[in-house]
Structure formats: structure tokens, C-alpha cells
């Protein structure tokens, strides 16, 4: 029997109109006008929310199965579930790697491989236990059995180095640009000792990683053949990238947590340095400055957009489809604090020109997944989290 609750239509326009950004943590001027506080622009769409499944334990990632066969959803304690369209939730899928389910660690992202319909390959990111309380961000892949009960032949294709005993800032998302490679995002484990590793090219902390689908290194990566650099690194100087997506042109975008202020939307390019922890538009939670105390420094890239105060970003995606067609090309970003979904409209130059806050009463939204028709799913990150389908209200 289907478990679903149809919620009252929520007026997106009203929720946006009464929103204001609030006070700042720092007083840094943006580097260019479109970098900060785009106009809050209501889309005038009313939303219907249908809870497809609930009682999911800290769900983290969603992958849509083909042929209307439902979704794969990760639970951070280390379980992968199959959620059917009727709301049924499977027993845990077998074969999932053991995870370091401590603090922010656990089973993180899930994605279908680019050739899933022929090879049934599923990719996961997770915090890998490394012994003696140490852990590292890892990515693995395995073949999903025909009955969806198990992953078979599971193997790691990336393991962050070195492992660390701080169970924070793992990232991590995995996306496929369509050229036989995968981007994997990582964090820098948060501690004062390890955050500086985001600047070190011999460590995979605070990086965008680019690997072949089997974990090999693409020959055109920027640091291939360079002494004292890890050849799987694509970009560096990141803090904690928990959102990554490709736009309609196949360009990679990422979104990362700042400290107190300074969440960033970036468009990572090969071999470039995005500044953490030398520069930031935020400050330490203690109130002390970050790194150099500056937000701009020569040789370090600027974010496309930043938030202060933060949105605490989760997963992100770019909208496409007939439903909510006026949003096509816009970024939809899960927010953990203050919660909801952040919609960003971008112009042809890739600048943010408007922002909207949606679903603010739903709390911590960890991931957003567009469906073929343009409707979308969100998951709420709670001890009893939900998978929710979002459509326009029939009256809108």
C-alpha cells in the first residue's frame, strides 16, 4: 500500500516575498556586482508536496532508476535503499562498503553510471574506515543485481590520502561529464591541522578529483607527470564540496560550505586554486579571520557567487523539463540551514541574476533530483527523513 501524504499547496511567491538575507558575518565587498545577494525574485509558482517515503535515517543521496522503477537512496549510517514509486522501501541493498558512520561520516552520494542501462553500474561515495579511528573520503562502484537486492563486484576507484581522525568535511558528490571520466569532490576534514592540506597538491583534501570510470588517471589531467603532485587532482583550494552538477553545456559546477559566512558556488577549471584556507568571504566560528584575512588574492580564483549568512548547501542540480519550464537552466540547491531549496537563475555569462528561496518550512534538504518531466525530488536530512516529490499546484 502506498505511503504518501499530500500536503497543502505552498505559495512559493509568498515564501520568497517575506524573505530577507539578514545580517552579515563579514564586511567584504564582492569582487563584481553579480557575486553577492542577487535580487530575490518570486517565480509565482505554488507547490504541491507529496511524501513518497518517510522514516529514512539521514538520507543523503538520490539516484533515479530508469523505466519508472523508483529511486536509490543512501542513508548515512551505511544503508542503500530501493524506494519504489508506491512508497515501499526495500531492505538494505547488499554489498555496500563498510562506512565510518561517525559525526559527518557515512554513506554519502549515489549515482547511476553513464552506461547503467547496459552494465548496471552504480557509484557511491562514502567515508572509508582506515583503522585506528582514521577515515577518508572514498568512491566505489559495483554492479546492481537484476532484482535490485545487492551490489556485486564492489571496488574502490578513489580513496583520499592521507586518512585522518577528524570525522568531518568529507564532501562528497560524484558526477559524470560524459567523456568516460568522473568528478569526485572532497573536503579537508575541517581541523586546523588538515584544512591547510586543501592547498597541498600531494594530498587529495579539499579537491575536485577527476578519474576514469575504473579509477585510472586521465592522461589530460592538469598535474599528470608533475613531481610532488597527485595526478588525479582537477582543482584545489576547496573547503567541503557537498554539491556538484553539470549544466546543459556539460560544464561542472560545485557548491561548498564556507565557515561563518562564505558558502561558495564555483565553476572549477583544470589546475586552478580556489583559495581555501588562505582567502574566504567568511570568518572562523570564533570570529577570527580566515588565513590571510582577505577575500581576494592574486593567483586564487573568485567564486561565481557567495552567501553571507550561509545556506549550508547540500546537493545541487540544474533544472530541465516541461514542468517548471520557466526554471530551465536554473540551479536548484538543497539548503541545510536555514533549510529549503535555493533557486539561482544565471545569465548567458554565467552570472547569478536572481535568487529564490523555496520549501523553507521543510528544514534540512540534503539533495535535489530532477525528474524527466521537470518535477523534482528532495530528501530531508533527519533521523526520520523523507523523500518528497515536488510538483506545481494544479491551481498555479
Residues serving a catalytic function are 169
- Rounded Cα distance between 141 and 203, Å, is 22
How many CB atoms neighbour CB 295 within 10 A?
21
The dihedral region occupied by 225, where left means phi > 0, alpha psi between -120 and 50, and beta the remainder, is left
Pick from 160, 123, 164: which is nearest to 140 by CA? Answer: 123
**Which residues have a Cβ under 8 Å from the Cβ of 68 and sit 6 or more positions away?**
85
Between the alpha carbon of residue 215 and those of residues 87, 139, 209, 234, the distances in Å are 35, 9, 10, 14
Contact 323, 355 (CB under 8 A): no
Angle, alpha carbons 262-355-53 (nearest 5°): 90
User: In Å, how far are 86, 189, 348 from 273, measured between CA atoms?
Assistant: 46, 18, 24
Say how far apart CA 35 and CA 158 lie, in whole Å. Answer: 33
**DSSP characters for 15-56?**
HHHT------S--PPPSSGGGB-PPB-----EEEEEEEEEEE
Q: What cell numbers appear for 272 in the block?
A: 586552478
Q: How far apart are CA 7 and CA 220, in angstroms?
A: 49
Is residue 194 helix, strand or coil? Answer: helix
Distance in angstroms between the alpha carbons of the first and the last residue of the chain: 29
The three three-digit cell numbers of residue 370, written as one number = 530532477
Residue 273 DSSP code? B
Amino acid at each position: 500500500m502506498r505511503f504518501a501524504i499530500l500536503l497543502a499547496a505552498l505559495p512559493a511567491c509568498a515564501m520568497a516575498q517575506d524573505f530577507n538575507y539578514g545580517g552579515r558575518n563579514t564586511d567584504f565587498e564582492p569582487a563584481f556586482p553579480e557575486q553577492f545577494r542577487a535580487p530575490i525574485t518570486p517565480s509565482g509558482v505554488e507547490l504541491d508536496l507529496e511524501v513518497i517515503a518517510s522514516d529514512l535515517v539521514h538520507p543523503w543521496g538520490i539516484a533515479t532508476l530508469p523505466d519508472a522503477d523508483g529511486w536509490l537512496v543512501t542513508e548515512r549510517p551505511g544503508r542503500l535503499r530501493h524506494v519504489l514509486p508506491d512508497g515501499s522501501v526495500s531492505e538494505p541493498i547488499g554489498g555496500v562498503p563498510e562506512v565510518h558512520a561517525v559525526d559527518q561520516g557515512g554513506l554519502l552520494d549515489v549515482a547511476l553510471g553513464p552506461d547503467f542501462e547496459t552494465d548496471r553500474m552504480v557509484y557511491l561515495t562514502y567515508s572509508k574506515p582506515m583503522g585506528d579511528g582514521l577515515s577518508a573520503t572514498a568512491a566505489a562502484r559495483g554492479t546492481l543485481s537484476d532484482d535490485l537486492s545487492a551490489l556485486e563486484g564492489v571496488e574502490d576507484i578513489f580513496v583520499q590520502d592521507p586518512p585522518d581522525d577528524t570525522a568531518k568535511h568529507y564532501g562528497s558528490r560524484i558526477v559524470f561529464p560524459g567523456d568516460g571520466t568522473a568528478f569526485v569532490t572532497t573536503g579537508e576534514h575541517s581541523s586546523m591541522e588538515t584544512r591547510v592540506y586543501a592547498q597541498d597538491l600531494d594530498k587529495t583534501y579539499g579537491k575536485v578529483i577527476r578519474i576514469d570510470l575504473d579509477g585510472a588517471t586521465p592522461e589530460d589531467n592538469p598535474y599528470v607527470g608533475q613531481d610532488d603532485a597527485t595526478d588525479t587532482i582537477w582543482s584545489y583550494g576547496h573547503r567541503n564540496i557537498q554539491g556538484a552538477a553539470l549544466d546543459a553545456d556539460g560544464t561542472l559546477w560545485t557548491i561548498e560550505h564556507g565557515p561563518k559566512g562564505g558558502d561558495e558556488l564555483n565553476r572549477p577549471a583544470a589546475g586552478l586554486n580556489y583559495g581555501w584556507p588562505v582567502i574566504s568571504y567568511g570568518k572562523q566560528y570564533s570570529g577570527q579571520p580566515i588565513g590571510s584575512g582577505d577575500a581576494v588574492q592574486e593567483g586564487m580564483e573568485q567564486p561565481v557567487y557567495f552567501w553571507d549568512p550561509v545556506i549550508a548547501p547540500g546537493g545541487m542540480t540544474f533544472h530541465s523539463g516541461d514542468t517548471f519550464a520557466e526554471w530551465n537552466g536554473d540551479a536548484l540547491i538543497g539548503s541545510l540551514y536555514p533549510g529549503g531549496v535555493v533557486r539561482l537563475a544565471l545569465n548567458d555569462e554565467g552570472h547569478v541574476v536572481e535568487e529564490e528561496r523555496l520549501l523553507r518550512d521543510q528544514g534540512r534538504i540534503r539533495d535535489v533530483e530532477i525528474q524527466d518531466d521537470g518535477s523534482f525530488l528532495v530528501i530531508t536530512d533527519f533521523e526520520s527523513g523523507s523523500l518528497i516529490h515536488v510538483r506545481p499546484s494544479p491551481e498555479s
